[in-house]
């Protein structure tokens, strides 16, 4: 049994009601639900939320809400994995069952990347698979700001004058999805909590993903969606 769990708290400080905010004519979370359905991977697509309005909306798009997430566990700093582990324990899912934590705000995600993540996970001995993408600017060209004097200096001084093509490529979490087994999610509240965890990646082009945290991110996501669906 393969399960998708979509954490979707009602509270969001920087973008109010982010998980159900309208994105191209429908709640943004509906895009994640539809992507999960199109992948054909999941027996159950479950939304974990403490919010009754979110629960009603996601049911309209074919997701399940078998129970409500406890309100006293929700805060602006609460982690997505806490929703996943709570859901798995509440459902009594077997330790070795394969689970995908899918973000509610991933409207650019294509089913093919979910499928690639699943295939990579079952064919290798990783604890987790995440979606990763490149930084839009070479990280080694970063500047450190000294606020007392409003001056800057290279964060990586020894590399600041290197040609960008000679610098090692670095990647970051794309904020789209994570694959793992039920017992691994329950034992870890973040993907890198245990240094012994082996973590693989599915690499997504930068123009096909964005971690939506701010209003600026939201506008960029809309622009990218327009380009993608032209």
Domains, in order of start, for the chain = 2-134+171-229 (3.90.550.10), 136-169 (no CATH)
Q: Has residue 75 got a pLDDT over 80?
A: no
Helix (H, G, I), strand (E, B) or coil at 35: helix
pLDDT of residue 31: 98
The more confidently predicted of residues 148 and 204 is 204
Structure token pair of residue 96: 């070795």
Count of beta carbons in the 10 Å neighbourhood of residue 33: 23
pLDDT at 150 over 80: no
Residue 25 to residue 34: CA distance in whole angstroms: 14
pLDDT band (50, 70, 90) for residue 128: very high
CA nearest 6: which of 42, 40, 33, 35?
Answer: 33
Express as a percent the part of the chain with pLDDT over 90.
76
Q: How far apart are CA 213 and CA 18, in angstroms?
A: 9
**Contact predicate 48/83, CB 8 Å:** yes
How large is the greatest C-alpha to C-alpha distance in the chain, in angstroms?
A: 58
Indicate whether 184 pLDDT > 90: yes
Partner residues linked to 201 by β-bridges:
130
* Length of the chain counted residue by residue: 230
Mean pLDDT of 178-192: 95
DSSP state of 75: -
Contact 23, 223 (CB under 8 A): no
Beta-carbon contacts of 176 under 8 Å, excluding residues fewer than 6 positions away, are 102, 103, 106, 109, 113, 131, 204, 209
Angle at 52 between CA 50 and CA 57, to 5 degrees: 115
Mean pLDDT estimate for the chain: 93
H or E segment to which residue 174 belongs: strand 171-181
For position 120, what pLDDT does the model report? 97
Q: How far apart are CA 71 and CA 63, in angstroms?
A: 20
Please provide the DSSP assignment of 36-74 as one string. Answer: HHHHT--SEEEEE-S-HHHHHHHHHTT-B--SPPPGGG-
Which carries the bigger pLDDT value, residue 76 or residue 204?
A: 204
Backbone torsions φ then ψ of 202, nearest 5 degrees: -105, 125
- Full-model pTM: 0.93
DSSP at 106: -
Q: Confidence band (pLDDT; 50, 70, 90) for 161?
A: confident
Q: What is the CA 81 to chain-centroid distance, rounded?
A: 10
pLDDT of residue 77: 67
């Amino acid at each position: 049994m393969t399960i998708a769990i979509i954490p979707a708290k009602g509270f969001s400080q920087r973008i109010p009601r982010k998980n159900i905010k309208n994105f191209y004519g429908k709640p943004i979370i509906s895009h994640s639900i539809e992507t999960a359905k199109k992948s054909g991977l999941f027996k159950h697509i479950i939304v974990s939320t403490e919010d009754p309005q979110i629960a009603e909306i996601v049911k309209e798009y074919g997701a399940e809400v078998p129970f409500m997430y406890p309100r006293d566990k929700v805060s602006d700093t609460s982690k997505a994995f806490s929703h996943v582990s709570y859901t798995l324990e509440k459902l009594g899912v077997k330790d070795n069952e394969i689970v995908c934590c899918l973000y509610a705000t991933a409207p650019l995600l294509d089913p093919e990347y979910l499928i690639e993540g699943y295939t990579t996970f079952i064919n290798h001995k990783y604890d987790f698979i995440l979606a990763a993408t490149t930084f839009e600017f070479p990280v080694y060209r970063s500047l450190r700001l000294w606020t007392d004097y409003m001056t800057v200096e290279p964060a990586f001084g020894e590399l600041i004058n290197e040609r960008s093509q000679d610098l090692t490529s670095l990647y970051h979490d794309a904020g789209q999805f994570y694959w793992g087994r039920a017992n691994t999610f329950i034992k870890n509240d973040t993907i890198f909590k245990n240094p012994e965890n082996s973590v693989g990646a599915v690499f997504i082009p930068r123009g096909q993903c964005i971690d939506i945290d701010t209003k600026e991110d939201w506008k960029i996501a809309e622009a990218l969606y327009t380009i993608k669906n032209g």
